[in-house]
C-alpha cells in the first residue's frame, strides 16, 4: 500500500518539541495513525508506539495508568487514547514535572513527550485542551483533499483573485468524472486498495456504530440512529432544523440535537455557522449541515453509482458539499481553526450567500454552482456584505467553467480546480 503525502505533515513537524503533548483527532480511517507513523519515521530520534486497540494494553492503562506510563519510554505515541482517559491526569503530572525542570534549569527546552491520536472528539478531547492548556497542540485530520490525491502542493484557499491566479490547478474533470470522485469519497484506503466502494462504506458504518455509538446511545435506538444519519445525509448543505428531522425519524428534538452533536464531535459532519455581528440583525441563526466525506453521504443517501448520482436531484447538494469540504480541508491542513474563517449568510428576506470566507479581517462572498455557465445574477446578494461594516474582498462563483472570467470589476467566475 502506497503512502499518500499529507499536507498536514508540515504543520505537525513544526509542532514537534514545541508542545509537550500533540493530539491528533478526526473521524475513523482518515489516516491519523499513518500520518503520525510516517512523521515519526522521519524524526532523528526514536519515537515509541503503542495502541489501545490492544485489549490487554487498554486494560492495563485503565487499571493502573501511572504504572502503565512508567513502563514506556518517551517520546511515545498512544494510539486510540480516548479508550483510557484515566491516563490524562498522570500525563498532566509528568508534563508539569518537566516544566518545573525547565524552570529551574535542569532541562534546557521543551520536548514532545506524548503523541495522542483519537477517533473521537468527545469529553476526553475537551479535558485534554482544558487540563493541558498551553502544553498541548491539537490537529484535526480529515479525508484526502483533491490536491493530496493528485500530489499537488496545497495552501489556504482565499478567494482573493490575485492569489487564485497564482495557484496551480488540479486536473480538469468532466462532470461525470467529477461525480465519480464525489461518489468515491476521500478515505485514504479507497485510494491505496481495490476495495469495493459500497462494501467499504457498509463496513465503515458498522464499525462506527459498534465502536463509537453504542456506548453513547441506547441500544434500542440504534435503528433510529441509522435512520437519523441517513436523513442528515439527504439534507447535506441544508440548515439543521431539529423539529423537522426528529419528526421524520421518530425521536424528540432533544435527542436529535444530542445526536447531531455526536456526529459533529466525531468529525462525520461539519456544522457551518451563520455569519453574525452587531450590524446583522435579521440573519438566521441556524447552522448548515455538511458531511465531511461525500462518499459516506452518498452511501447513506442510497446512491449506488455515480452516473445515477450525477443525474439526480441530489447532485447540486452533494456538489456543494464537495466544494465546501475541500475548502474546509484547505484550512484544517494548515492547522487553522475553520470556525474563525468560514460562514454562510441567510436572512429573513431570503437573501443568501453560500459561503463567506473571513481572512485577515477581509470577507469574501462565494457562491457555488454546478454549472459551466452560471447566470450572472448569482452574485445579486453579494451587496449585503457591504452592510457588515468590515472590509470586503472580491466575490467569486465557484463553478464548472474552464477558465477564470470576470463578471465585473469585483466579481469573477472561478473553476473549481483552483480550490
pLDDT for position 217: 79
- Measured CA to CA in angstroms, residue 363 lies from 38, 109, 229, 322 at distances of 37, 40, 32, 22
Question: What gap in Å lies between CA 103 and CA 118, rounded to an integer?
Answer: 31
pLDDT for position 124: 57
pLDDT for position 282: 73
Q: Peptide bond preceding 75: is omega within 30 degrees of 0, i.e. cis?
A: yes
Per-residue tens of pLDDT for the chain, all 419 residues? 688 999 999 999 999 999 999 999 999 999 999 999 999 988 888 999 999 999 999 999 999 999 999 999 999 999 999 889 899 889 999 999 998 888 888 888 889 999 999 876 555 566 676 777 778 899 999 999 999 999 999 999 999 999 999 999 999 989 999 999 999 999 999 999 999 999 999 999 999 988 888 877 776 788 999 999 999 999 999 999 999 999 999 999 999 999 999 999 889 999 999 998 766 657 788 999 999 999 999 999 999 999 999 999 999 999 999 999 999 999 999 999 999 999 999 988 889 999 999 999 999 999 999 999 999 999 999 999 988 889 999 999 999 999 999 999 999 999 999 99
pLDDT for position 1: 60
Contact indicator for 251, 242 with CB cutoff of 8 Å: no
Question: What gap in Å lies between CA 83 and CA 86, rounded to an integer?
Answer: 9
Distance of CA 258 to the CA centre of its chain: 19
Helices (H) and strands (E) in the chain, counts: 17, 14
Question: What gap in Å lies between CA 150 and CA 9, rounded to an integer?
Answer: 16
pTM over 0.85: yes
pLDDT for position 291: 98
Task: Map residue 265 onto helix, strand or coil.
Answer: helix
pLDDT for position 284: 80
DSSP E strand stretches across 98-221: 114-118, 136-140
Grid coordinates given for 97: 514535572
pLDDT for position 120: 60
Closest by Cα among 298, 321, 299, 398 to 142: 321
First to last CA, the chain: 27
Compute the C-alpha angle 293/294/296, nearest 5°.
Answer: 70
Burial of 234 (0-12, 13-18, 19+ CB in 10 A): middle
Amino acid at each position: 500500500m502506497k503512502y499518500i503525502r499529507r499536507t498536514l505533515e508540515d504543520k505537525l513537524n513544526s509542532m514537534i518539541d514545541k508542545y509537550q503533548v500533540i493530539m491528533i483527532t478526526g473521524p475513523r480511517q482518515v489516516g491519523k495513525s499513518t500520518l503520525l507513523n510516517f512523521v515519526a519515521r522521519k524524526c532523528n530520534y526514536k519515537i515509541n508506539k503503542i495502541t489501545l486497540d490492544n485489549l490487554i494494553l487498554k486494560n492495563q492503562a485503565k487499571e493502573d495508568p501511572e504504572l502503565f506510563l512508567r513502563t514506556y519510554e518517551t517520546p511515545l505515541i498512544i494510539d486510540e487514547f480516548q479508550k483510557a482517559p484515566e491516563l490524562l491526569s498522570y500525563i498532566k503530572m509528568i508534563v508539569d514535572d518537566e516544566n518545573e525542570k525547565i524552570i529551574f534549569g535542569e532541562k534546557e527546552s521543551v520536548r514532545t513527550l506524548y503523541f495522542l491520536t483519537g477517533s473521537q472528539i468527545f469529553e476526553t478531547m475537551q479535558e485534554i485542551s482544558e487540563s493541558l492548556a498551553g502544553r498541548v497542540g491539537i490537529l484535526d485530520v480529515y479525508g484526502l483533499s483533491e490536491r493530496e490525491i493528485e500530489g499537488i502542493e496545497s495552501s489556504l484557499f482565499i478567494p482573493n483573485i490575485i492569489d487564485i491566479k497564482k495557484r496551480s490547478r488540479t486536473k480538469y474533470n468532466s462532470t461525470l468524472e467529477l461525480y465519480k470522485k464525489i461518489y468515491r469519497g476521500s478515505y485514504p484506503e479507497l485510494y491505496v486498495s481495490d476495495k469495493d466502494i459500497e462494501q467499504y462504506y457498509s463496513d465503515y458504518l458498522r464499525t462506527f456504530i459498534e465502536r463509537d455509538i453504542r456506548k453513547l446511545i441506547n441500544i434500542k435506538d440504534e435503528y433510529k440512529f441509522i435512520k437519523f444519519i441517513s436523513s442528515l445525509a439527504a439534507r447535506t448543505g441544508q440548515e439543521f432544523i431539529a423539529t423537522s428531522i426528529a419528526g421524520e425519524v421518530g425521536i424528540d428534538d432533544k435527542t436529535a440535537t444530542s445526536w447531531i452533536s455526536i456526529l459533529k464531535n466525531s468529525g462525520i459532519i461539519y456544522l457551518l455557522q451563520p455569519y453574525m455581528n452587531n450590524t446583522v440583525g435579521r440573519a438566521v441563526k441556524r447552522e448548515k449541515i455538511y458531511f465531511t466525506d461525500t462518499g459516506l453521504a452518498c452511501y447513506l443517501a442510497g446512491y449506488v453509482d455515480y452516473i445515477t448520482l450525477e443525474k439526480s436531484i441530489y447532485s447540486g447538494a452533494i456538489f456543494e458539499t464537495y466544494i465546501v469540504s475541500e475548502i474546509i480541508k484547505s484550512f484544517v491542513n494548515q492547522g487553522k481553526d475553520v470556525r474563525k474563517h468560514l460562514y454562510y449568510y441567510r436572512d429573513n428576506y431570503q437573501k443568501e450567500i453560500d459561503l463567506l470566507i473571513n481572512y485577515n479581517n477581509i470577507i469574501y462572498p462565494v457562491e457555488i454552482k454546478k454549472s459551466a455557465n452560471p447566470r450572472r445574477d448569482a452574485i445579486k446578494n453579494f451587496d449585503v456584505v457591504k452592510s457588515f461594516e468590515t472590509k470586503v474582498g472580491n466575490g467569486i462563483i465557484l463553478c464548472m467553467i474552464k477558465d477564470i472570467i470576470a463578471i465585473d470589476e469585483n466579481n469573477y467566475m472561478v473553476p473549481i480546480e483552483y480550490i
